[in-house]
Amino acid sequence: MRNLHVWSDSTHIGVFSQRSGGSLVRFEYDDAKGAPISLSLPRTGAYSDIAPKAFLENLLPESRKARWRMADRLGVDSVDTFDLLAGVDVTGGLVFTPSAEEPSVQGEARPLDDDELAAQIIQTRAAGSAWFARTEHCRFSLAGGQPKFTLANHNGTWLWPNIAIPSTHIIKPAVADCPGSDRVEDAVMELGELCGLQAAPHGMVEPRAGVSAYIVERFDRKVENGRIRRLHCEDIAQAMGCMPDGKYDIDAVSCIRFLHRFDPTDGLGYEFVRRLAFNVSSADSDSHGKNYSLMLEPDGIRFSPMYDVSATRTWVGMDQDLAMRINDKEFAEWVEPSDWAALAADSGLDGDKVVAIARNMAGLVLDHTDEVASMVPEAQRDAMTKALVKVNESIEPTHDAPELARSVAATSNGYGSVVGAVWVRPHTRNGYDVRGYWRSR
């Protein structure tokens, strides 16, 4: 039996276990009190057999090449999930150890100067799918497929993170196939803020002339009294118990139905609609289930600040169809107000309110398009501007209630509403897509 112990702020939370040679992963809490580590793994109540494994897999890079690079840097001889997660800095408020021994709070502080940071940006950009950092001092894990790395900023000095030194920032160089993608992401984050959405502090870092990358401050970290604390969060794919390769199977209606169980007032559901409407109107066709995250706090859940947004329609080589379709409309420019009304009807939300959110969000995006386009390299500026105009051509943008598009601090009232029910994640059955739903135990 192999074990992976879970810790939060030096408190032992529970244990993941797996029989030698087996594929099934189990999880057991130490007790039934407190917030869950995942909405897919409630403290009380049942969860699906795949949920424990899915939770862990969603903390790792999706690329096998990146995982092998990670294994090499960690000094382990496999890309097994338990081996890769033990002793590294991961997304959220948890750390993992192979034994029940409490992890040390003292870690090797390995700083980077500007030349090393510039070299890391260049290496990450060139590595493609094998993007994991090449230095042996790198002890972190980041999910997703885009090349990136994390660092900790301590009193103005950049440090490599580890289990004892939480990272504070994520750095993403431009993708080779998408020139200017770093600056486009920065611009679209700015656009989201101008439209009233909450976004993490972001910008560009240029450690050396001609070497730059997009940088964003982590929303799952907080500096208190000079100490960096980890804050717990998870993305929607983790929360639903979906494996990473199922992130594109998660549809908008399933997300809203899922959130309703935790917040019957639907404040979280409407906040999700705001994020979704912005992604549709900002020409982001790649907004999938891992691009929306929830903060898991002692008294309930709330949405994290916005992240991983980009006008992907800027590049003709990128997929043009929506990752999350609105009323089964394949392309953003086909989406009409009636499609948002249909989504609301399927989700149990107020149709007039949902339509107003979507139309006002489109109006705000177009109002600020020229402003944020000035942040983008000239080679991408025209394409990005045209994409933002095109994707909003059928939504009938308006300005009659822009306050509806702005983020609201919606939270759930605890976690107890999942008792007596099990979430069945979105899936395919006999060739047909099945939306997620709650099933009585």
What is the greatest pairwise CA distance in the chain?
A: 61
Distance CA(236)–CA(240), nearest Å, equals: 6
Percentage of residues of the chain with pLDDT beyond 90: 69
On whether the CB atoms of residues 123 and 148 are closer than 8 A, the answer is no
Please, are residues 56 and 81 in contact by the beta-carbon 8 Å criterion? yes
Over residues 412-426, mean pLDDT: 75
pLDDT, tens digit, 9 for 90 and up, residues 381-407: 999 999 999 999 999 999 999 999 998
Decide which of 128 and 440 is more confident.
440
Stated as kind and residue range, the H or E segment containing 394 is none
- The secondary structure of the chain in percent helix, strand, coil, rounded to multiples of 5, reads 35, 20, 45
CA separation for the pair 418, 108 (Å, rounded): 41
Q: For position 75, what pLDDT does the model report?
A: 85
Please indicate whether residue 68 or residue 440 has the higher confidence score (pLDDT): 68
With contact defined as beta carbons under 8 Å apart, do 38 and 239 qualify? yes
Cα(113)–Cα(159) distance, integer angstroms: 9
The mean pLDDT of the chain is 91
pLDDT at 111 over 50: yes
- The dihedral of CA 337, 269, 369, 125: what is its sign? negative
Q: Is 367 exposed, middle or buried (0-12, 13-18, 19+ CB in 10 A)?
A: middle
How many helices (H) and strands (E) the chain has is answered by: 11, 19
Q: How many Cβ atoms from other residues are within 10 Å of residue 398's Cβ?
A: 17
| pLDDT > 70? residue 354 | yes
Burial of 268-288, coded b for 16+ CB within 10 Å and e otherwise, reads bbbbbbbbbbbbbbbbbbbbb
- How much is the pLDDT for 52? 96
For residues 269 and 148, which has the higher predicted lDDT (pLDDT)?
269
Backbone angles phi, psi at 412, to 5 degrees: -85, 165
Residue 137 has pLDDT above 50, yes or no: no
Cβ–Cβ < 8 Å for 67, 49: no
**CB within 8 Å of 74: residues ≥ 6 apart:** 83, 84, 87, 88, 139
- pLDDT of res. 55: 97
Q: Which residues of 6-35 are buried (b: 16+ CB within 10 A; e: fewer)?
A: bbbeeeebbbbbbeeeeeebebebeeeeeb
127-131, 215-219, 314-318: segment of lowest average pLDDT: 127-131
CA 229 from chain centre, in angstroms, equals 19
Highest mean pLDDT of the ranges 48-52, 214-218, 319-323, 408-412: 214-218
Side chain identity, residue 369: T
Considering only residues 154 and 367, tell me which one the structure prediction assigns the higher pLDDT.
367
Q: Is residue 379 predicted with pLDDT exceeding 90? A: yes
The confidence band for 17, taking pLDDT boundaries of 50, 70 and 90, is: very high
Q: What is the CATH number of domain 233-405?
A: 1.10.1070
Distance CA 340, CA 257 (A): 15
pLDDT exceeds 70 at position 138: no
DSSP summary character for residue 312: G
Residue 369: what pLDDT? Answer: 98
User: Tokens in use for 172?
Assistant: 């993403």
Average pLDDT over residues 373-388: 97
What's 158's DSSP letter?
E
Band (129; pLDDT cuts 50, 70, 90): low
Torsion angle defined by CA atoms of residues 72, 137, 245 and 349, in that order, rounded to the nearest 10 degrees:
170
- pLDDT value of residue 420: 61
pLDDT 10s digits, 49-95: 999 999 999 999 888 888 888 888 888 888 899 999 999 999 999 99
Residue 441 pLDDT level (bands cut at 50, 70, 90): low
Of 54, 377, 37, which is closest to residue 244 (Cα–Cα)?
Answer: 54
